[in-house]
Amino acid sequence: MLVWFAAVLLNFLLQRPNIAVNCPYTLQPAPNYLYCTDPDDRIQLTDGKYTQGYFWTQKSTVGWRNVSPVFIVVDLGRDVSIAGASFNTAAGVAGVEFPAAIWVLVSVDGKQWHEVGELVQASNEQNGPPPAQGYAVHRFWTDQWQTHGRFVAFVVIPQGSFCFVDEIEVYEGDPNWRFQPFASEPIADLKIFAQRKEIERCALRRLKEDLATLRQIVEQAKIAEPTKSQIRQQLDELANFVPKAFAIDNPVSFRTTLPLNDWHARLFEVQAQLWRAKGMKPFVAFVASSPYDPLPYLRENPLPKVVMERVELILLRNEVRPIAINIVNVRERPIAVRVQVQGLPDTIVVEPHHALWTDTKEGVPIAAALPKGERFAVASGMVGQAWLNFKPTKKALSGDYNARIVITSDAGDKVSISLRLTVLPLTLPDRMSLHLGGWDYTDVEERYGVNPKNRDAFIAHLREHFVDIPWASRFVLPSGKFDAQGRMVEEPDTTAFDQWLNRWRGASRFYVFVNAGSSFEGSKVGTPEFERKVGEWIAFWWRHAQKRGLKKGQFGVLLVDEPHTPEQDELTIAWAKALKKTAPEVVIWVDPTWSEPQRMNPQLPEVVDVLCPQRAIWLRNPKAHEEFYLGWKAKGKRLALYSCSGPSKLLDPYAYYRLQAWHCFAIGADEMFFWAFGDNGGNSCWNAYLDPRNCYTPLFIAPDSVTPAKHMEAIREGVQDYEILTMLSRMVRERRFKSSLSAEAERLLKEGIAKVLQPIGVNELRWHVSKDRTVADRVREWALKLLGSERLTDYPLVH
C-alpha cells in the first residue's frame, strides 16, 4: 500500500504541465442540472479552479441529468503534443455514480478525429480506481499517452442518471510527438463513435460476465470430475478467444437480443453440455408456475422441483389470461419450435406470443418482449418461452373444455401438455371499473418514443389493454387573447383538442397536464386579473368539451406535477380555486409526493377532486398514507395510485404492475397510472445499450413499431383482477350469496387481498427479487369459484 501511495505521489509531482488552462470549449448537450448550472459553465472547466464543498450543488461544477453521452471539446488553439488528460468528478451518494467511460479523441482540424484511449480504464490502471462506496471526489487522469492535436474531445458515458465535472486538463507531451502519425483510423462523427463504443462496452461486459458466471456454475456443479474437466477445457478455449472488440455496421439498427454473437452462442452450448452431464433430456417443455417469474439464464439446473405438464385455467367470457410454457433446449444446436393449441372451439381465441431475451443498459438479461407468433427459435443451452393469451368471446358457451398444448421442434421433439379450460357463465364488461392511464401524450405529433409511424399501433395496443384515460399536454388548451381587464376577447383554437379527442374517441376520461406557473397570460397568481383570465379560459374549454360530448367527471387537469413543497401546494391551491369558480365540473387531479402526507397544506385536498399518491412512497410509509388518504376518501375525495420507478424493464411485472390494481382495490381507488406508456428513454427499446436515461414504457417501442411485453400484459391482468373483485364485492353488498358463501366472500375480500399485498414492499417491486408470484392467481381463482358457485347468469354491471 505504501509503495502504491509513493508511486501515485511521485506521479503527481512529476505531472506534465496542463495546457488546457483558460482554453475555450464546447458542451453538447447544454448542462441541465438545476443546482449547479449557471452562465459560467462555459468557462469553469478550464479555469484551473476546483470545486470546494458538496460537489454537485456548487456553481463551480458543471452537471447533466438524464443525458448520455456528454461531449466536451476543448480548443487548445494550436496543434500541440499531448501526453494525457484529466477529468475531475464526484459520486457515491444520492444515486450519483462515476462515469462508465470517458473516451478521449484528438483532432487537428476539428473535423477528422482520432481515438486516443479510454480515460477511466487508463486512470484505474495507472492510479487505482475510485472508492467503491461513499461520497468521494475523484480525478481520472493519465499521462501515459503519446499523441497530438489542437482539439481534444471528452466523450463521457454516464453510469446512471447523472454526470458532473468541475475541471478538465490536458497534459503537454514531448514536442517531437506532433510529427508522429496517428495510430487510429480517422473518425468523422463523434456521435456515431460514441454509440459504437457504448454498444461495444456493454456487449463485451455481457460476454465477460457470462463467461465468469458459467465458470462458477461449472465449478460448483455436482457432476463427474472427468466431465467437469472437459467442460473446463471448453471454457478455457472460449476464454482464449473472448472478443476484444465488438464491431457493428449500424448502431441505430443494432438489437441487444441474446445471444449477442457466435462466440456468445458457443458459450451457451457449453451450458447445454453441463445440462446433459446432469442427465437432462434433450428437450424439455413445461408450464411456468407464474408467467412473470424471471426465466433461468445461466443456471446449473433450469428446471423447477416439479415439472408441470398439466394446466387448468378458469376464465370469464371476454377475459384475457396467459399461460406460459418454458422450453429448455439441451441439444447441441439451436432448434426451431412451434407451439399450437388443439381442441378448443373458435369461440375461445388463442393469441400466441413468445418471449425474447434482450440485454439491458444495467447488464441484467431479461425475457420480457413478446412478439406475436407460434414459431420461434431457442438457442442451445437457453430457456425459451411460449406465451399464450386465452380469451373466450362473449359467444363462448360456459363449461369445461379439454384441450392440448402441443410443442414440437425441427429436431423431432414433441411434448403435449394437458389443458383444462373452464368458462364461467359470466361476462367481463368491455369497460372496466378501474380506469387506467399513463401520460401517453398522443395529442402531439411526436413525444418520447411515439411518432406518426407508430402512434396508431401504440394507441390501439393501449386500448386493447384497457387504457381509457388519455393524457394531453398544455398544447391542447391554448389560452386565447385577453384585454387589459382580463376578459377573453379572442377564443382559443380548438383544433388540437378536437384532434386529440378524435384519436381517443370513446375514452372514459380525458386529462391534461397544464404545468401551471406563477402567472397566466401576464397576470400573476393571486391578482384579480389572474383569476378572471383563468376563469374565462377554463370556462371556455369546459363549454367546448361539453359540445364534444364530455360530461361531468370526464374532463380533468393536473395543474402542478408532484407537489411536495409548501410553494407547490400554494400554487396548486390558487389555480384550483380560480378554476372551480367558473367550471366546478372540471376534475382537479393532483399527484402529491409528500413522504409524510400530513405535512401537506390542508387546503390542497380540500380544493381538488382526485388525490393520486405515488405507490412506492406509500409503501415506504404505509401507516401515515392510509390514515391521511383514507381519511380524505371518507370525506368524499376520490383516490388513485400512480407509479413512476425505472428502468421499467427491471421492475417486476407481477409486483409493480399487476398488483398496483390490487392496491387500488384495497384503498377504494378507481384510477391508476404508470409513468409513462410512451417514454422509451429517447431510444429504441430493442437497443437499451444506448439509453441516454431511464426507460419507463412497459412496452418495446421502436421508431416504427410497438411490441407487446410482459409488463403491459400484467397491467391488463391487474385491471381484470380489480373487476372480478368488484363483482364479488357488489354481490356481497347486494346479498346475492347464500349466508355461508357470503361469509367466505367477505373473508376473501379481507384476508385474501391482504395475503396478496402484505409480502410486497418497495424492495419487492424489483423483478429479480425472489417472491411467490402465484398468490394473486390463487385468490383470483378463489373469487371465480365463488362467483360460479351460484350458477349465475351474466351480472349487470353499471359503471
pLDDT one-digit tens code per residue, 91-120: 999 999 999 999 999 999 999 999 999 999
What's the pLDDT at 791?
Answer: 52
What span, in angstroms and rounded, lies between the C-alpha atoms of 381 and 280? Answer: 11
Tell me the HSE value of 266 on the side-chain side, using a 13 A CA sphere: 13
What span, in angstroms and rounded, lies between the C-alpha atoms of 737 and 439? Answer: 40
> Residue 28, SS3?
strand
H or E element at residue 172: strand 167-172
What's the pLDDT at 14?
Answer: 61
What span, in angstroms and rounded, lies between the C-alpha atoms of 440 and 360? Answer: 23
What's the pLDDT at 8?
Answer: 47
What span, in angstroms and rounded, lies between the C-alpha atoms of 147 and 178? Answer: 7
Identify the CA nearest to 163 among candidates 195, 187, 140, 193. 140
What span, in angstroms and rounded, lies between the C-alpha atoms of 615 and 617? Answer: 5
Cell of 7: 508511486
Residues of the chain below pLDDT 70: 1-14, 790-799
Cell of 469: 384515460
- Which residues share a beta bridge with 511? 471, 556
- Which residues share a beta bridge with 383? 328
What span, in angstroms and rounded, lies between the C-alpha atoms of 247 and 398? Answer: 57
What's the pLDDT at 739?
Answer: 77
**What value, to the nearest 5°, has the Cα angle with vertex 466 and ends 455 and 371?**
60
Cβ proximity of 474 and 464 under 8 Å: no
What's the pLDDT at 6?
Answer: 52
What span, in angstroms and rounded, lies between the C-alpha atoms of 462 and 712? Answer: 9
What span, in angstroms and rounded, lies between the C-alpha atoms of 262 and 213? Answer: 18
What's the pLDDT at 788?
Answer: 86
What span, in angstroms and rounded, lies between the C-alpha atoms of 404 and 548? Answer: 49
What's the pLDDT at 797?
Answer: 36
Radius of gyration of the chain from Cα atoms? Answer: 30
Identify the CA nearest to 143 among candidates 166, 117, 163. 117
A 10 A CB-CB count for 300 gives 17
Cell of 357: 431475451
Q: Where are the alpha helices (DSSP H) in 177-224?
A: 190-220
A 10 A CB-CB count for 112 gives 13
Cβ proximity of 667 and 630 under 8 Å: yes
Cell of 481: 387573447
Cβ proximity of 353 and 421 under 8 Å: no
- Which amino acid, 614? Q
Distances (CA, A) of 245 to 41, 203, 324, 586: 36, 9, 37, 58
Cβ proximity of 748 and 782 under 8 Å: yes
Q: Where are the alpha helices (DSSP H) in 701-774?
A: 710-733, 739-747, 753-757
- Bridge-based pairing of strands 399-409 and 335-342 is antiparallel
Identify the CA nearest to 262 among candidates 278, 242, 237. 242
Q: Is residue 14 exposed (0-12), middle (13-18) or buried (19+ Cβ within 10 Å)?
A: exposed
> Residue 158, SS3?
coil
What span, in angstroms and rounded, lies between the C-alpha atoms of 660 and 312? Answer: 25
> Residue 404, SS3?
strand
